[in-house]
Structure 1
């Protein structure tokens, strides 16, 4: 029988291990090919919403270095503190993405159950049909969908673009 931790337990895990996460993730960029492709689709100085931004390493850092303006959201206070310290010119919001309403539009949005420090770690997951429906309902075309990409640490990737 699998145990699914509560949202509070997950946030606590992130808070307790934020600095370790930041050190391990900063130079462990297994999803770089997808983030590079994502960034190549952005306009100059694009506004990007990074849901579940963690410590900002390496994804937000890469996007910032390409000239994007990042608004990061994470439920961990410690992760947001790391973001603010490392990238003070960007906007970092401590909030639960499931209930957050920013009431503004972004040019792009970036956002899997894994194990970290021996504990179950949740990133984000919807049924594939729900992802496709959400993209369509919000005016996006699906550019690519790869299930458990071996070149990306087994992550599943959804790449969409807002229709003109």
Structure 2
């Protein structure tokens, strides 16, 4: 039987057009599971003007990357799906788009802000810890991280386009401990998920 966690990257690449259609170009607002507009506004408010932002697991670049570019930020997106990155490069040419695995990528530079939106939780718990180390290595000495944490610790399998879609969470306390060890503290003004961490 295919490992559903190991299948995620291939699934998104094979179904790239379906994902682009299903995700759409509009940010989710109030009434969605997470208010993306409010989360991005909080994130951007914590960044310097014209900040350099890394979007890990950026997918097609829509709608999160597009919204960051519209807000005047310098955006680099990394995703393991070549087809999704190709779409981002074609439709959002002012961004920088790189094919890379969040567990192994190394850009050799740091960023003022790091966005990890609905991507980390597709990895199994061990790989999440590896990926977080890689991701946080790309955070500047003073930086902001916006992370969707995936809820309570555990594993769940959803369904998308007829296939199992893997999700896992280490739990909020574990994420805070990992970020805390890297010098980040939760933004006390951000009382609702997703949480923002500041260094």
Whether the TM-score (by the shorter chain) exceeds 0.5 is: yes
Q: What is the aligned counterpart of 2:103 among 77, 88, 98?
A: 98
> Could you tell me which residue of structure 1 aligns to residue 81 of structure 2?
76
**Does structure 2 conserve the Cα–Cα contact (< 8 Å) formed by 1:132 and 1:142?**
yes
Q: Compute the displacement of 1:26 (Å).
A: 2.6
Q: What is the aligned counterpart of 1:108 among 104, 113, 130?
A: 113
> Could you tell me which residue of structure 2 aligns to residue 26 of structure 1?
24
SS in 2 for 1:107: strand
- Normalised by the length of structure 1, the TM-score is 0.80
Query: More displaced, 96-105 or 61-70?
Result: 96-105
5+ unaligned residues in a row in structure 2: which ranges?
29-35, 123-157
Equivalenced residue count is 150
> Could you tell me which residue of structure 1 aligns to residue 9 of structure 2?
11
Q: Compute the displacement of 1:120 (Å).
A: 3.0
Superposition pairs for residues 9-158 of structure 1, below 5 Å?
A: 9-30=7-28, 31-111=36-116, 112=121, 114-122=158-166, 125-143=169-187, 144=190, 146=192, 157-158=194-195
Separation in 2, partners of 1:123, 1:78 = 22
Separation in 2, partners of 1:59, 1:126 = 24
- Normalised by the length of structure 2, the TM-score is 0.67
Separation in 2, partners of 1:88, 1:11 = 23
Separation in 2, partners of 1:24, 1:90 = 22
For residues 120 and 145 of structure 1, do their structure 2 counterparts lie closer, same or farther at Cα, with a shift above 3 Å needed? farther
5+ unaligned residues in a row in structure 1: which ranges?
147-155
Q: Compute the displacement of 1:145 (Å).
A: 5.8
